[in-house]
Amino acid sequence: MLQERAAAGHPILFALFGAGFMGRGILHQLRYHEGLRCPAVCARDPEKALVALKGMGYEEARVVNSSQSLDSLIASGGIGITSDPDVVCGSERIEGVLDATGAVDYGAGIVSRALEAGKHSVVLNAELDGTIGPLLKEKADQAGVVYTGCDGDQPAVEMNLYRFVRTLGLEPLVCGNIKGLHDPHRTPTTQQAFAEKWGQSATMVTSFADGTKVSFEQAVVANATGMSVAKRGMGGFKHEGHVDDLVSHYDPDELRRLGGIVDYVVGASPSPGVFVLAAARDETQAHFLHLGKLGQGPLYSFYVPYHLLVLEAPLTVARAVAFGDAAIAPAGGPRVEVVAVAKRDLAAGETIDGLGGYMTYGTCENYGPARTEGLLPIGLAEGARLRRGIGRDQLLHIDDVVYPTGTFVHSLRAEQDAMFSES
């Protein structure tokens, strides 16, 4: 399909939100994808984005201030850069958008606007998806467009593997994520050197290390599959062997009772991949799985040994625009919540910093208990002011904070909670 569109001179046109580490990687990768073009970039600092794009060889990049100017520039083969999401969403040429910001409130605003404008929306933003993804999926359905997570990010890689296993007629019971490190008390200070080595932000890599990112990733998978967590925080155990060895770690009957679970392990190989543990439906399937060298059951291991991020990400736009297909999207109401935990002793009056910061980390809890106990979703925590002190490693509750005013994500989250009040 992409080759045909390239040959016809009619590539899929999409806009990119964010010109940071991931965004620049996607723009670079597009040099090697046929039939896909990104002629619009929306960034909060357009002049900085312009310098970055020109440094990558995109000399045709220009700052634009209207949808009409953007469409004219697209027609001439240029790339328009803007700070105004409405410039992108009002374009008649843009078919879809890709959010690579990793920001929850900003992402909530841009993706909701894109959906209202009838643009297919791809999010490389598990933090946003894990906070208000079910609502955004509903809005996409109402608009007749696709809302989806991104190929190359671990949730979509898990979901693609889950679908493969389910399509074989097997019974998926665990969707798992492999991490190399988990220390909930890591901070941007401890992760600064690693961040500089890889050209990433310190807060981003802190969210990887402190467990917030994997919690969001697995919440997204749970919301897409209908699975749950076996306990608050998931298993998260250390396993220095191969993921194939995990088939003996779980009780299939308990997994079935729970309706399947999402989980993660630390230190396993192949890293940083994903895995699905599944059961055979009958003895004949079990016989052929054994013949295929997958062991004697009752659980069988399937895995993908990598996730390639920006190398795969643009292909999700093609799935959405050309085929109306989502890599991963919520299947209904939320199943798992990512709730905030104090990373250090917090004092009354303090304002909570962002994800991957110094004050909180995220952990998974099933949606029902999280709502019943009034636990604070970490995707809503940034900018909230503490009403009282909270001890280190204690859960934060919604009643413990005063939310900031004028945000997109809090209003959309209230809408989602009302929509799925019976979940």
Copy the structure tokens of residue 266: 């630390």
Residue 203 scores a pLDDT above 80: yes
pLDDT digits (tens, 9 = 90+) for 68-123: 999 999 999 999 999 999 999 999 999 999 999 999 999 999 999 999 999 999 99
Q: Is the pLDDT of residue 422 over 70?
A: no
Structure tokens at 341: 């935990």
Q: Is 269 exposed, middle or buried (0-12, 13-18, 19+ CB in 10 A)?
A: middle
Rounded-to-integer distance, Cα 66 and Cα 294, Å: 57
Give the CA count within 13 Å in the CB-facing half-sphere of 329.
22
What are 354-408's pLDDT values in tens digits? Answer: 999 999 999 999 999 999 999 999 999 999 999 999 999 999 999 999 999 999 9
- Per-residue model confidence (pLDDT) at position 290: 98
**150-194 pLDDT, tens per residue?**
999 999 999 999 999 999 999 999 999 999 999 999 999 999 999
- Cα gap 217→219, rounded to integer Å: 5
- Whether the per-residue pLDDT at 423 is higher than 60: the answer is no
Under a CB-based contact definition with an 8 Å cutoff, are residues 283 and 315 in contact? Answer: no
Instruction: Return d(Cα 217, Cα 296) in angstroms, integer.
Output: 30
CB of 272 closer than 8 Å to CB of 178: yes
Please, which residues bridge with residue 149 across strands? Answer: 123
Closest Cα to residue 239, out of 302, 313, 182? 182
Q: Whose CA is closest to 18, among 89, 106, 87?
A: 106
Residue 119 tokens, joined: 């643009």
Domains (range + CATH), the chain: 2-153+310-323 (3.40.50.720), 155-309 (no CATH), 336-419 (3.90.1210.10)
Q: State pTM to two decimals.
A: 0.97
Residue type for position 2: L
Give per-residue pLDDT as tens, 283-323.
Answer: 999 999 999 999 999 999 999 999 999 999 999 999 999 99
pLDDT at 98: 98
Q: Which residues pair with 82 in a beta bridge?
A: 42
Per-residue tokens: 148? 């989806």
Q: How many CB atoms lie within 10 A of CB 383?
A: 19
**Which one, of 149, 145, 146, lies nearest residue 309 by Cα?**
149
Question: Sorting pLDDT into bands at 50, 70 and 90, what band is 421?
Answer: confident
